[in-house]
A = this chain, B = another copy of it.
């Protein structure tokens, strides 16, 4: 079977970390929502002041990147035809496995609510079917579990190519890796598990744009 795995790697998706839970901008937002900080997604559009100076600041607090990239991947014929497996690897080594029949919430507040529930319960089911599952797992462990023939990572640090040529290189049982964060590059550990690191634009493009374009080109190679 012709199947592609997509991994959004080192993604900006986590609950508000303990070290900043007492910051005034967090406590006021938490009070407004009526939820404990440990049950709220870290989001730099609300928590910017509290996030100043935390480790890996540029790779954190952007759940919208995961939301948009997932909406690109889960709203296309390739996904509807069940030819795409999707995984979200987070910066602190959790892996979300996305089922092949999810209707992702379009509204951000519903998406955030769903992910907050997932962080707390580790699994989201509907009518007895698993929609999302979260496990502690590193990027390396995930790649071992997927066990692809070929791992292609997209990064400005890679060898220049094009969306079309990247798509052509995704032969049967390939794994495509896209950064689920805003700035900087993949960590060395992530790069060490990638067979081909390629760059598809000299400028930096947003994760959701990269996701949309490469999946579209891939779809064209398999749906004649």
- The chain A residues found within 8 Å of chain B, CB to CB, are 43, 45, 62, 64-65, 68, 71-72, 75-77, 80, 105-110, 163, 201, 203, 205-206, 208-209, 212-213, 216
Q: Which of B64, B107, B209 contacts A212 (CB 8 A)?
A: B209
Closest 6 interchain pairs by CB? A45-B107, A108-B108, A212-B212, A75-B206, A64-B106, A75-B209
Q: Please indicate the chain B residues that have their CB under 8 angstroms from the CB of A72 in the complex.
A: 208-209, 212
Are the C-beta atoms of B43 and A107 separated by less than 8 Å?
A: yes
Are the C-beta atoms of A107 and B107 separated by less than 8 Å?
A: no
**Distance A46 CA – B131 CA, assembled complex (angstroms):** 23
Per assembly, the copies of the chain total 2
**Distance A201 CA – B216 CA, assembled complex (angstroms):** 13
A77/B45 contact (C-beta < 8 A), A71-B68, A71-B208, A212-B212 known: no
Q: Please indicate the chain B residues that have their CB under 8 angstroms from the CB of A110 in the complex.
A: 45
Q: Please indicate the chain B residues that have their CB under 8 angstroms from the CB of A45 in the complex.
A: 105-107, 109-110
**Distance A64 CA – B105 CA, assembled complex (angstroms):** 11
Smallest beta-carbon distance A9→chain B, Å: 19
Please name 17 pairs of A and B residues whose Cβ atoms are closer than 8 Å in the assembled complex, sorted by A.
A43-B107, A45-B107, A45-B109, A45-B110, A62-B106, A64-B107, A65-B106, A72-B208, A72-B209, A75-B206, A75-B209, A76-B205, A77-B201, A80-B203, A108-B108, A108-B109, A209-B212
Closest to A162 in B: B220
Q: Please indicate the chain B residues that have their CB under 8 angstroms from the CB of A206 in the complex.
A: 71, 75
